[in-house]
Amino acid sequence: MPPRIDAAKCNGCGTCDRHCPIDVIELDKGKRLAVVKYPDECWHCGSCRLDCKEGAVEIVFPPRMLLV
């Protein structure tokens, strides 16, 4: 599953956009809100969740990743 952004917590800082290695997340500068633009490309590396100081990113890992 791709990351989910909690719009109520996101402050539009853009950190997740800058840190995602493959640009899955893009900051909507007008709305000051992170948007998951390419959900199918997510590697589940966890950087966006780890680096979000607002705790606005949730990642649900696919079951096959939890079995390894």
Q: Using CB under 6 A as the criterion, which residues of the chain lie in contact with ligand SF4 when the complex forms?
A: 3, 5, 10-16, 20, 22, 24-25, 27, 34, 42-48, 52, 54, 56-57, 59
Closest distance to ligand SF4 from the beta carbon of 30 (Å): 13
What SS3 class is residue 33?
A: strand
Please state, as a whole number, how many other Cβ atoms lie within 10 Å of the Cβ of residue 16. 25
Closest distance to ligand SF4 from the beta carbon of 37 (Å): 9
CA distance 15 to 40: 20
Closest distance to ligand SF4 from the beta carbon of 19 (Å): 6
Q: Which residue type sits at 5?
A: I
